[in-house]
Structure 1
Amino acid sequence: MNPISPRVLLVRGMLAGLLAGAVAFLVAYLLGESKVDAAIAIEEAGSALHDHAEDAPVSRALQATAGLGTGTLLYGVAFGGIAALVFCYALGRIGRFGPRATALLVSGGLFLTLNVVPFLKYPANPPAVGDPDTVVRRTTLFALMIALSLLLGAGALILGRRLAPALGHWNASVAASLAFVAAVGLAYALLPGVNEVPADFPAVLIWQFRLTSLAIQAALWATFGLVFGFLAERAIAPVVAPKEAVQPTS
């Protein structure tokens, strides 16, 4: 495998992130926007300010199309670049995996630490749910959970590498995974919970919105892993010189 500049992989990571963001936008638009509209309708039905939608500085139609698309594309490009740098470090250090397998492992690891672990503690809620006065507190707790998840994930990876010489790769991976789960469980227990869902809000809509939010992230990271793995393999594959024809000797 030829050495390659991280800049080359960074560019490919951002390109893969752009494509992944486009897929995430399609999933969000097709599956998520109807849940957002339903939540807004419930909020407006219970509010005396029925002209809320007309007074909004940005129309709902623009939010659901150009606004959503711009946000998901920028998100994909940004995290695609970050994931590419993680890939540069992980390649050859987490086992004898090729570029495609490493890209999928990195994508799966980032999806787990950035999305799944924080989601299980602080699941996403539609716009109509939550006290506006606690938005700063809720955002801070969610960001803290993401930071803890990333640190614990990195710690588990380091622990697995340290234990591998003594326990073997499989046993070390199991031990590191169990340590990660235990540490995440401790973080869940210590961090305060947030439950601001109104008692009369439809539970089905809440969970549909939450599962859709998770599906959007899953689509983004799965697409990134597949596309970036392909691009990275093409970038770092050794150039095999064609064999010279052997001239028969007389």
Structure 2
Amino acid sequence: MTPRAFLVRGLLAGLAAGILTFGVAYVAGEPQVDAAIAVEEAVAAPADAHTHDHAEEDPGTEVSRDNQSTWGLATGTLAVSIVLGGVVGLVSAFAAGRIGRLRPGQSTALVALLGFVAVALVPFLKYPGTPPAVGNPDTISSRTVEYFSMQSISLLAMIGAVLLARRLLSSMSTYRTLLIAGGAYLVVVIVAAVVLPTVNEIGNFPADTLWYFRRASLLTLATMWGAIGIILTGLVGRLYETESATAARRDLAATL
């Protein structure tokens, strides 16, 4: 049960999760991206027709939409999933044996669940994904900073909540510990969500297309984190059973 063993299994879980996530993103997400692009092109067409006679612009290097939605999407999804799987694996290695009486497989599942809530779900609730044609290009930098600020606060608050729970478990029941630690996390992220700026740059973008896009985005995130958590939990659980059986045989042999 070494960190290397957790890391290797995390990378494998990330690879498998990346393949599954690509399928979900392609089936559920890409049609919504196409719909958003169609809205963007419909809005931009009159302006392009008006300015076409005044100046000729170099379009530069363009990547076809087919490549974006296939190879580009697959490459990005696999890269993110593999890296995320490795990170979850290393954190799970650190958490093994340090969270109450949970077995390594159980603590791995908990790490993946808490990671999804802190890194993906809570920041998404404050700053949900936006499709093409939504948002002012001049505010991309500020919106990026605000998103990562919310994500950082949420992650640090979750780490603090876990440390608080570990300290309280020695003197309180599990229910009260979860209530206090979970409440502390909620207070921090709610305050952060209220204090951080609100982004409202939707304009006249169709509400149904925006909803479908954001629903697909959340489904893709949940698939990635869920697949990593489930696969890695199974791999770590099998490793723990194998190591436990080996240790039991050694102990038995030592008594003979």
Common fold, TM-score beyond 0.5? yes
Residue in 2 that maps onto 1:247? none
Does 1:232 find its partner at 2:255? no
Q: How does 1:22-171 map to 2 (within 5 A)?
A: 22-48=19-45, 49=48, 57-171=62-176
Q: Name the aligned partner's letter for residue 90 of structure 2.
A: L
Rounded to whole Å, the distance in 1 between the matches of 2:249 and 2:23 is: 42
TM-score, normalisation: structure 2: 0.88
Residue in 2 that maps onto 1:208? 212
Could you tell which deviates more after superposition, 167-176 or 20-29?
A: 167-176
In 1, are the aligned partners of 2:105 and 2:240 still within 8 Å (CA)?
no
Residue in 2 that maps onto 1:13? 10
Q: Name the aligned partner's letter for residue 230 of structure 2.
A: L
Rounded to whole Å, the distance in 2 between the matches of 1:105 and 1:120 is: 21
Rounded to whole Å, the distance in 2 between the matches of 1:204 and 1:102 is: 39
Q: Name the aligned partner's letter for residue 127 of structure 1.
A: P
Rounded to whole Å, the distance in 1 between the matches of 2:185 and 2:101 is: 22
In 1, are the aligned partners of 2:123 and 2:150 still within 8 Å (CA)?
yes
- What SS does structure 1 have at the residue aligned with 2:165? helix
Q: Name the aligned partner's letter for residue 33 of structure 2.
A: V
Rounded to whole Å, the distance in 1 between the matches of 2:107 and 2:18 is: 20
Structure 2: 5+ residue runs without aligned partners? none
In 2, are the aligned partners of 1:32 and 1:209 still within 8 Å (CA)?
yes
Identity across matched positions, percent:
43
In 1, are the aligned partners of 2:116 and 2:222 still within 8 Å (CA)?
yes
Rounded to whole Å, the distance in 2 between the matches of 1:61 and 1:84 is: 34
In 2, are the aligned partners of 1:104 and 1:222 still within 8 Å (CA)?
no
Residue 59 of structure 1, CA deviation: 0.3
In 1, are the aligned partners of 2:100 and 2:169 still within 8 Å (CA)?
no
Q: Name the aligned partner's letter for residue 149 of structure 1.
A: S
Q: Name the aligned partner's letter for residue 241 of structure 1.
A: R
Q: Name the aligned partner's letter for residue 41 of structure 1.
A: A
Could you tell which deviates more after superposition, 138-147 or 29-38?
A: 138-147
TM-score, normalisation: structure 1: 0.90
The size of the alignment, in residue pairs, is: 239
Residue 56 of structure 1, CA deviation: 6.0
Rounded to whole Å, the distance in 2 between the matches of 1:241 and 1:161 is: 33
- What SS does structure 2 have at the residue aligned with 1:241? helix
Structure 1: 5+ residue runs without aligned partners? 245-250
Alignment counterpart, residue 188 of structure 1, candidates 177, 182, 193: 193
Measured on the aligned residues, the alpha-carbon RMSD in Å equals 2.0
Residue 230 of structure 1, CA deviation: 1.5
Q: Name the aligned partner's letter for residue 115 of structure 1.
A: A
Rounded to whole Å, the distance in 1 between the matches of 2:189 and 2:142 is: 20
- What SS does structure 1 have at the residue aligned with 2:79? helix
